[in-house]
Structure 1
Amino acid sequence: MNLSTVSFRAYFTSLLSALAVLFVVSSCGGGDKGKVEDAATLYGSGSKTWVTDKQTDASGSKMKLDDAAKEAEFTFTATNFTASEGGQSQTGTYTFDQAAKTLTLTPQGGSTANTFKVEKLTSDKLSLSGTSGAMYVLKAK
C-alpha cells in the first residue's frame, strides 16, 4: 500500500480535528450536572451545614424565598441530621442511597419519613427533588 504524503497529512489532520472536538465536547458538556458523590460528601469530615440557595416549584419556576427559608440550615453528621428554621430545630436520622440517588430523613420521634431524590451532590451543592416535583438547591456553608 502506498500512502502519499498529502493523503496521510489529510488523514492525520482529520483525526486530530475529531479528537479535538471529542475533547471539547467531553470537557464542556454538562459539567457535574447529575453527579451524586458518596455519603461522606454530605457530612464532610465530621459534620457539614447546608443552607438554602434556591427553590423551584413543580413546574420549574423559581420561588421567592421568605426570611425563614433563607435562614434554614441542615446539618448532617455520619448518621444524624438537624434541620433549623425560624428559631426551631428538628433532629433525626437519615439514610442515603447513592445507587438509587435517594435521601430519606426520619425526624426523631416521628413515624413518617421524607424521601427526596438526590439530583446532585458535590462538595458545594446539594439538589433535592420532592415527591411534588419541587426542587431544593442547597449550598455548603
Structure 2
Amino acid sequence: MNLSLVSLRSYFASLLSVLALLVMVSSCGSDKGKVEGVSMLYGSSSKVWVTDKQTDAAGDKVKQDAAAQDMEISFASNGTYAGTQSGKYTFDQAAKTITLTPEGSTTSNTFNVETLTDSKLTLVGTSGAKLMLKAK
C-alpha cells in the first residue's frame, strides 16, 4: 500500500510538471497584450508598418480592398508619422495608447495599443475594431 501511494504521488508530480510546461509553451507563442518600449515603434530612427489584417468591432475579419492592403505608416523617433496622412504622435506606454494628430488638425485620434513588438503592432479603435500591422 505504501508503494502505491508513492507511485500515485510520482504520477501526479509528473502530471503537474507536464501541465506547467504546456502552460509556459502556450503563453510564449502569443504576443497579444505585449507592449514593449516606444523604440519598437520606430526602430533605430524610423520604421515602416504595413497592414496585416483588420477586424471590426465584433471581431470579424474585414475584407481589405487594394488600398487598405497597400497601406503603410512610418513612425519616426522624432514623434512624427507619415503615410496616407502625416502628423505627430505621442505614445503612452503606461496607458498603452498612441495618439495621432494629423498635420494642420486640432483633432487627434487615440488608439489602444494591444500589441507592440519588433515585428507586430495592433491598434484598437474606440469601437473595438482592430488594425494589425507588421513591420516591413
Instruction: Give 1:25's match in structure 2, choosing from 4, 23, 27.
Output: 23
Normalization by structure 1: what TM-score?
Answer: 0.84
Q: 1:34 aligns to what?
A: 33
3-state SS, counterpart of residue 86 of structure 2: strand
User: How far off its partner does 1:9 sit?
Assistant: 4.6
Instruction: Give 1:127's match in structure 2, choosing from 117, 122, 128.
Output: 122
- Counterpart Cα distance in 2 of 1:83 and 1:124: 18
Q: 2:103 aligns to what?
A: 108
3-state SS, counterpart of residue 53 of structure 2: strand
Q: 2:12 is aligned with what amino acid?
A: S
CA RMSD of aligned residues (A): 2.0
- Counterpart Cα distance in 2 of 1:34 and 1:63: 21
Q: How many residues align?
A: 135
Q: 1:75 is aligned with what amino acid?
A: S
Q: 2:122 is aligned with what amino acid?
A: S
User: How far off its partner does 1:95 sit?
Assistant: 1.1
3-state SS, counterpart of residue 63 of structure 1: coil
Point out the structure with max Rg over C-alpha.
1
Conservation of the 8 A alpha-carbon contact between 2:80 and 2:89: yes
Conservation of the 8 A alpha-carbon contact between 1:74 and 1:81: no
Q: 2:110 is aligned with what amino acid?
A: T
User: How far off its partner does 1:5 sit?
Assistant: 5.8
3-state SS, counterpart of residue 21 of structure 2: helix
User: How far off its partner does 1:26 sit?
Assistant: 2.2
User: How far off its partner does 1:20 sit?
Assistant: 1.8
Q: 2:64 aligns to what?
A: 65
User: Structure 1: 5+ residue runs without aligned partners?
Assistant: none
Task: Give aligned-pair identity as a percent.
Answer: 51
- Counterpart Cα distance in 2 of 1:82 and 1:94: 7
Q: 2:50 aligns to what?
A: 51
Conservation of the 8 A alpha-carbon contact between 1:127 and 1:137: yes
- Counterpart Cα distance in 2 of 1:35 and 1:21: 23
Q: 1:14 aligns to what?
A: 12
User: How far off its partner does 1:72 sit?
Assistant: 1.3
User: How far off its partner does 1:44 sit?
Assistant: 0.7
User: How far off its partner does 1:15 sit?
Assistant: 1.6
The answer to which of 43-52 and 13-22 deviates more is 13-22
Show CA shifts across 1:22-74 (max 9, x none). Answer: 11112214622211111111111111100111111112221121222122111
Conservation of the 8 A alpha-carbon contact between 1:79 and 1:94: no
